[in-house]
Structure 1
């Protein structure tokens, strides 16, 4: 197996899917408008590499607490069609298609909830996806998470868990990300690529001989 691993936000799409989802919910009057300001403050910490993931997930999952999975799914699909697919980088689609043509397995792994990551992956034709795991009781979201967050070093932990479930190891792996938060993942793969990397990550890419890609809409 050869495996291509993609971050989602600001890597495959020109935006952050969780932030866009909250904006969608506010437009639909399913979340209070002030949630956007509070989420923005937490995202500033994410870009500095010091996100309080517990606080972030508590905030961003509050609007779907007590929602049935079957009721939320059509809303997520509408959101993907309206707000996500128009933001997919054409070069990202090309790279996904290239890996398919080479017979590679493709995996999206993101520090966003799996209620968004998995259907976005399906919409992009990607069979495998890892996101932050959400607790459900009798098919109802309770606003909590479980397991290791797929964030920073946690992405690597969740990846290793996934590989154990696959009962096979990749003979060669590719990794794509825009974020310094994904440094553990980029260091793990055999062939790393930095997408629109900011200055610090760009310097690291140059030092380590990683591919640097500029993707635009």
Structure 2
């Protein structure tokens, strides 16, 4: 049995769903553009540079979820999927996922972006398993906090190992393990799998991949 791990933003997606969700809320008037757009851009630049404070960002990203009912948020998300996410899903990404599914691999999206934003995207790809940062909930509504360990940098390893242990699996127990990612932030997990693949890599990851002979693929279409 083989394991195929996929980062989501700028890997399977030709764009960043985390960033675009905030931009979407700004666009429909839920968030104030003057207050939120500069912060959203600032955090996105920090992420790309590998300097993001994940807890500071999640405070910014998850607080708006607590101000609206789950029903309203779900309605907004349906529009977000149509307007923003679907155009970011490329043919090469769909084909890559389908190839691993056809081979019978265990396919998992593992992403720092929160599960409210990403669960419908995983469903669109036909991927059953999602490891994402989990927003805290109380009585079905979001509190604005985080539940458990954020799925970011080394946290992805922690979350993956917990997910595997729940199923009686270990990473080494798979005949093969592959992880596709675009980001320097995923180097800790890329180093752990048997076949790391740099997909649409940033400059730092591209240099590392070239130095270590990792495959480099373009999923942008």
TM-score normalised by length of structure 2: 0.93
Aligned length: 217
- Structure 1 match to 2:82: 81
- The CA deviation at 1:11 is 0.3
CA distance in 1, matches of 2:149, 2:124: 25
- Cα deviation for residue 68 of structure 1 reads 3.1
* Counterpart-to-counterpart distance in 2, 1:20 and 1:61: 14
Shift of 1:73: 2.1
Matches within 5 A, 1:137-152: 137-152=138-153
Can you list the C-alpha shifts for 1:85-104, whole angstroms capped at 9, x where unaligned? 11112211110010011011
CA deviation after TM superposition for structure 1 residue 77, in Å:
2.5
Determine whether 1:205 maps to 2:206.
no
User: Which residues of structure 2 form unaligned runs of 5+?
Assistant: none
1:21 aligns to 2:25 (yes or no): no
Give 1 or 2: higher helix fraction: 2
The secondary structure found in structure 2 opposite 1:65 is helix
Alignment check: 8 A CA contact 1:118 1:130 kept = no
Q: Specify the SS of the correspondent of 1:31.
A: coil
Aligned partners of 2:204 and 2:56: how far apart in 1? 26
Q: Which runs of 5+ in 1 are unaligned?
A: none
Output one character per residue of 1:111-164: Cα deviation in whole Å (capped at 9) or x when no partner.
111111212101111101111111111111111102111111111110101101
Please state if 1:183 is matched with 2:162: no
Write the deviation string for residues 58-83 of structure 1: whole angstroms up to 9, x where unpaired: 11122221433343223212211221
Residue 60 in structure 1 maps to residue 61 in structure 2: yes
CA-CA distance at 1:214 after TM superposition: 1.8
Which of residues 157, 172, 179 in structure 1 aligns to 2:176?
A: 172
